[in-house]
Structures are given as C-alpha cells and as structure tokens.
Structure 1
Amino acid sequence: MSTVHAYAANKANGDLEPFEYKLGPIGPEQVDIAVESCGICHSDLSMLENAWGMTQFPFVPGHEVIGKISKIGDHVSHFSVGDRVGLGWHAGYCMTCDQCLGGHHNLCSGAEPTIVGRHGGFADTVRAHNASVAKLPDALNARIAGPLLCGGITVFNPLVQFGISPTDHVGVIGIGGLGHLALKFAQAWGCHVTAFTTERAKAQEALNLGAHETINSREPDAIKGVTNRFDLLLSTVNVKLDWNNYISLLKPRGRLHMLGAVTDPLDLNLIPMMFGQLSVSSSPVGSPATIRKMLEFAARHDVAPVTEHYPMDKVNDAMEHLRSGKAKYRIVLDR
C-alpha cells in the first residue's frame, strides 16, 4: 500500500491540515494520478462548510486535478504511465446503467463524485476510474487548465447539449468563476455574447473576456432594450433574481439555463413561457466525451481560465481568498 499526503479538514469550516491515508491495491480499471496542480471550485468551499449536508470527515477537497498518470490497473489500455491528464467532479461511474450506456455518464445515479465519500485532489496522489480521466491536449497550458475540468465543462456542456448555433445570441448572467469562462466559450463558439452584471467595474472586464456588449442588470431601461433577443441565457449566479424579468428577454423557443446553485425556489410566470414555448433548465458537469471535446475546443481556440495561484501548503489562505469573493477568477493550488 502507498501513502498519500493530503490536506484535510476534520470538521465543518475547519482548517485544512496535513493528513495521510493509505491507498490499497489499484483496481483493474483504475488509475493513480500524481497531482501537479488542483483548482479550487466554490463546490469545494460548500463541501468544506457541509452546506449540502453530505460531507464526510476527514474531508480532502479538490476536483479540478491536473497531473501525470503514476500507476494503471491491468485493464487500462488507453493510458500510459507519464500521460498528463485531468480529473473533474466525477471519479467513477457504474458503467452499466442506461445513462452510462447512452453516453450520459454525468447523469449516472451511481456516479462517484471525486470529493463525496472519497478523498480529492488537495493531495500528492488521487485515484479514479479510468473512464472519468481525460488526457490533456499538448497545446493546453497544463498549469492553468484545472478549472476547465469543473467550471469549464459546466458552462461548455449546454452549448453542446442544446445544439447552440454560432449565429445564436447568448447572454451570461454573472461574471465570476463560471461566468468568465462562459463568455470565453460562447465567444469562441461564434455566438453574439452579452454579459449581464451589476458592477460597472466589471463591464470592461467582460468585454475583454469575450462579450460583445454588456448590460447593467440594475438599469430597467437597459433590460427592456434587449427584450426578445436571446436564444440562450446562462445564469452563473447562486442568488435569487427576478427570473421572470430575464425570461422576457428570450426569443420564442429560448432557454434560461441555470448553472449557479440557487437554493431558493424559482417563482415563474407560466403563461409567457407557454405562449413563447420557453424553457427553464439546469445541468451538472458533462460526460467524459463532452469533457474531451471541451478540452480539444479550448486548446484549438485558446480558451483558458483567468487564474490566481497559491502553493499547496497555503491552501487555507487560498480558501479564505475564495470565501472573500475577491478571486479573479479561479484559484489554482500548485504542488
């Protein structure tokens, strides 16, 4: 058995402290990844706080892992030791349910989240089922690629799943960890991209990130000026907004898609949705095939997250920076 050196919390909101655990013999379909870097996602913070009531302690966060394969199981044929790979929210799937067999592994009811009931990537090694691991394209900058494995695929997945056209109008609500990547991907996809933000200081940033225009969502006249314009609105915020106001901006058959984890019930007026055949939907991260497509697309179109970096042993400083809301826009821990 090998020893993993990690950082773990022993209670909700506790500090992350050095922690060791043993890895048993590797399974035939598993791989071990020697961690080079790991992004920090807001989900790591939510799990640390036990905000969703499913955290098991000691808790090792980290599900935006970049590293090199250090060991492979006997049945793994498409990876070799030394391959640089990424691991995101899921570290395994049942591989037998209808969702897995249909290529929708991210909807598998038996999927194993990387940081739920198992230890994640704030460590020197993480183990995963080979199907959940993706090889990084050589053209991708590995040092900053980690956030693509969760934040990136979260915003990229709707573009694929809903058949978004390069001629479509896409709006992005909220310019943060998810929103800035949504702007970059939608612009590279060929769409006309509008950023909605309440902060004037972020307007120019949004344009620099790929938006063709910005709308101050606190100005009613500005909102009314884009009524009936959008094929897709991507909401990346986790706070309650006037969703009916945003639904009024959709074209017939348009969609408001929720990517931020809003916990308040949605108060929706059905009649305008009915007559416009409008949709409100949500989705998690993407399937392994979509993750590979996303990585290839990001490499080809030079789509990369804006990152701040901390050494792994400064993990508590990094988590506090995320908690403060001042991160621009994703944080990466480097080993």
Structure 2
Amino acid sequence: MKTIGYAAQNATSLLSPHAFERRALRNHDVAIEVLYCGVCHSDLHQARNDWGFSTYPIVPGHEIVGRVIDVGPGVRRFKLGDTVAVGCMVDSCQHCDQCHDGEEQYCREGMTQTYGSPDRLTGEITHGGFSKHIVVREEFVMSVPEGLELSRAAPLLCAGITTYSPLRTWGVGPGSRVGVIGLGGLGHMAVKLAVAMGASVTVIGRTEAKAADALKLNADHFLVSTDEAAMVKANSSFDLLIDTIPVRHDVTPYMPLLDVDGTLVIVGQIGPIDEQPTLPLLFGRRRVAGSLIGGIAQTQELLHFCASKNVLPDCEMIRMDQINEAFERMERADVRYRFVIDMSSLPTAPGTAA
C-alpha cells in the first residue's frame, strides 16, 4: 500500500513529507486509516537520535486512533469501518511466558515497536502513525469504546497506559496515597487516572508554578520539593510515587516521602539517574522500580476505564505540517499537556491511497 507520512531523514533534519510503502496484508493484518496521532516526547528523542539507536528515515508516532479500511483473510475481531487504536508496539513472539501473561512489552524475544523496529518476518524497519495509513497485526489492535472523544483519545495509547499500568500494578484504589512527581504529559495523566481510581493525589513540583494547574486537575494537594520544611512534614505520607521527570535527576529527596513498603516508580527517564543512597531504602523497606507501558489487554482495559470515567488527556490539536514547531515547543515545555495531530491535515500525495 502506497502512503505518505512525515519523517526525519537524519538526526538533525526537520520532519518533512515522506512517501513510502506499507506491507501487503498478511493473514491476520489490519489496515488502518490514521485519524489522530498523539505526539510523545519519545518521538522527539527518537527523531533526534537522543538514545543512540534511531534508524533513518524514521516516521514517528505511537499514539494512534484510526478506522479499519481492510483486513486480512484470517482477521476475526475487526471489520471495515471499526474505530481502533494502536499503541507503542505492533508485534511480539506471542509464545513466551510474558506474552502468554499479557505482558507483551516484556516479550523475551523483544517486542516490535510501532516505529524504528525490524519487522519480525522481513526485517524491514517499522514506521509509525505520523502517516495516512498503518498496517498492524490483529492482536496488537484495540477497539475504541463508545464515549471516548476520538480527537483526545490518542495519548491514552502511551501517556495513558504508561501511568495506568503502575497504578494498577501497585493496587491503587480508594484510600491509596499517591504522589505524582512532575506535571507534564505523563504527570497530568497520572493525576487524572489516580483521582478516577479514588486515591488521594498530591502533585510534587520544584516551584509553585503548576500548583493551580494541579488543583484544576482535581489533585488534592501540591507539594514544593524545594521547600525543606514542607518535605519533612510530608515524610512517610505516600504509598506510591509516580516519577514522570524525563531527564536525569536525583530521586533521593523523594524517598523519605514514602511510607513503609512504599514504592517510587520511574516512568519518565530513559537513561541514568543520580546515585541513590541506601539509607532511606533500608529504613522503611522502600523501593525504586520502573514500569514500561502495559500489555495489550491492560491497554484495552484502560480505554474502557477512561470511557466509563470520562478520563481524557488535555490536548492541543495541530496540523501535520506544524510538527516541527510542536517539537520546539515540547523542548520548552510549552504545551498543556499533549499535542495531537489531526491526520486529515496530511494531504494525500500523488499516487498514494486516498
């Protein structure tokens, strides 16, 4: 299938129109017209090769909402016209223990990411949702429940599941005390989801700058991490801390905030953090953990949860040709809180499908 997207040709180039071929449908493939695609901070990192493993040309985008336009002969779960979603992965081995347990993101043979990964059969590099169309294995396509506003649902496929998964893993519910460190794309979703689960939620930031925003998101409290007296007063007052800070940082100041058996879960930074002394870990049986997105079943669960609770990210809609400006604004943290591309703004190139 001929299609068009926006791609980075190298680590320093702007994203620009890029015509390419999607694979012919395999037996269990679903072809999707992309309607909306969220813009994740990892899209910026991968376009610029900040993590050192990008392959060019790269078409980013792994927060995808679309419409089924064709299916392979073996597909049973979807039909033409269905509204569907695709997240951060499009394949896995499907036979290891993690895949059998619905944790495909931890596949023993490695998941196939939505873009920038070799296809398991051909070795061709996958391309993401900054494009008119995408072809995905049926098992990695999710249904969009009625009631979800399509133009705002896309960021649930990464920002949503990245924060929902640790909240579920650590059993957050009524009576839970949750702290959210940082209030950006991930942080604001962590707040909304934890509130919807019935938890008492505190946002933790370095200054008061986002205190009003936190309360508008229905957080119960705002804690300034540079206020030594306030931090001491908050010692042992959280069961779970969701750390959404996307750069190298020191987690040491946050550890005393955890109660006995409390956990700080890192979901923002991919790379090093500063050296962590063991004293606050030992004196409180506290933990530092990490969490990577969620499995397909849990992501589908998230979509139904958000539809039932009316939980949606705060989004700013952009055209496809505004993506480079959006990347620049993301670097300045100038977005509240997630960009979403209206893919109808991407013109169909000559010779491509409509």
Counterpart in 2 of 1:55? 54
Alpha-carbon deviation of 1:102? Answer: 1.7
Counterpart in 2 of 1:81? 80
Describe the SS at the equivalent of 2:6: strand
Q: Separation in 1 of the partners of 2:296 and 2:152? A: 20
The number of residues matched between the two structures is 334
Alpha-carbon deviation of 1:301? Answer: 0.9
Alpha-carbon deviation of 1:7? Answer: 0.9
Q: 1:120 to 1:281 in 2, by over 3 A?
A: same
Query: Quick check: 2:32–2:69 contact (8 Å CA) kept in 1?
Result: yes
What is the root-mean-square deviation of aligned Cα atoms in Å?
A: 1.3
Describe the SS at the equivalent of 1:298: helix
Alpha-carbon deviation of 1:53? Answer: 1.4
1:333 matched to 2:341: yes
Which one of the candidate residues 202, 217, 229 is aligned to 2:237?
A: 229
Q: Which amino acid in the other structure matches residue 48 of structure 1?
A: A
Which one of the candidate residues 222, 228, 231 is aligned to 1:220?
A: 228
Q: Separation in 2 of the partners of 1:313 and 1:47? A: 18
Counterpart in 2 of 1:273? 281
Q: Separation in 1 of the partners of 2:86 and 2:187? A: 21
Query: Quick check: 1:33–1:68 contact (8 Å CA) kept in 2?
Result: yes
The 5-angstrom pairing of residues 41-120 of structure 1 reads 41-108=40-107, 109-117=109-117, 118-120=126-128
Counterpart in 2 of 1:301? 309
Q: 1:317 to 1:272 in 2, by over 3 A?
A: closer
State percent identity of aligned pairs.
37
TM-score calculated relative to the size of structure 1? 0.96
Q: Separation in 1 of the partners of 2:12 and 2:69? A: 32
Alpha-carbon deviation of 1:199? Answer: 3.2
Which one of the candidate residues 304, 310, 329 is aligned to 1:321?
A: 329
Q: Separation in 2 of the partners of 1:220 and 1:161? A: 31
Alpha-carbon deviation of 1:93? Answer: 1.4
Q: Separation in 2 of the partners of 1:24 and 1:227? A: 54
Which one of the candidate residues 295, 300, 303 is aligned to 1:292?
A: 300
Alpha-carbon deviation of 1:266? Answer: 4.0
Alpha-carbon deviation of 1:160? Answer: 1.3
Q: Which amino acid in the other structure matches residue 7 of structure 1?
A: Y
Q: Separation in 2 of the partners of 1:17 and 1:202? A: 34
Q: Separation in 2 of the partners of 1:139 and 1:114? A: 26
Query: Quick check: 2:183–2:210 contact (8 Å CA) kept in 1?
Result: yes
1:182 matched to 2:190: yes
Q: Separation in 2 of the partners of 1:176 and 1:251? A: 25
Q: Separation in 2 of the partners of 1:205 and 1:165? A: 23
Q: Separation in 2 of the partners of 1:255 and 1:318? A: 34
Alpha-carbon deviation of 1:317? Answer: 2.1
Describe the SS at the equivalent of 1:69: strand
Query: Quick check: 2:250–2:273 contact (8 Å CA) kept in 1?
Result: no
Q: Separation in 2 of the partners of 1:196 and 1:5? A: 41
Alpha-carbon deviation of 1:18? Answer: 1.1
Counterpart in 2 of 1:144? 152
Q: 1:165-187 CA deviation, whole Å, 9 max, x = no partner? A: 32110000000110011100001
TM-score calculated relative to the size of structure 2? 0.91
Query: Quick check: 2:23–2:135 contact (8 Å CA) kept in 1?
Result: no
Q: Separation in 2 of the partners of 1:131 and 1:73? A: 12
Structure 1 unaligned blocks of 5 or more: none
Q: Separation in 2 of the partners of 1:229 and 1:256? A: 13
Alpha-carbon deviation of 1:319? Answer: 2.1
Alpha-carbon deviation of 1:314? Answer: 2.3
1:248 matched to 2:248: no
Counterpart in 2 of 1:28? 27
Q: 1:310 to 1:130 in 2, by over 3 A?
A: same
Alpha-carbon deviation of 1:262? Answer: 4.8
Counterpart in 2 of 1:8? 7
Q: 1:255-296 CA deviation, whole Å, 9 max, x = no partner? A: 011011152344222243124221110011000111011111
Describe the SS at the equivalent of 2:236: coil
Structure 2 unaligned blocks of 5 or more: 118-125, 344-354
Which one of the candidate residues 258, 261, 269 is aligned to 1:261?
A: 269
Q: 1:313 to 1:241 in 2, by over 3 A?
A: closer
Deviates more, 1:267-276 or 1:62-71: 267-276
Q: Which amino acid in the other structure matches residue 25 of structure 1?
A: A
Counterpart in 1 of 2:352? none
Query: Quick check: 2:22–2:134 contact (8 Å CA) kept in 1?
Result: no
Q: Which amino acid in the other structure matches residue 54 of structure 1?
A: F
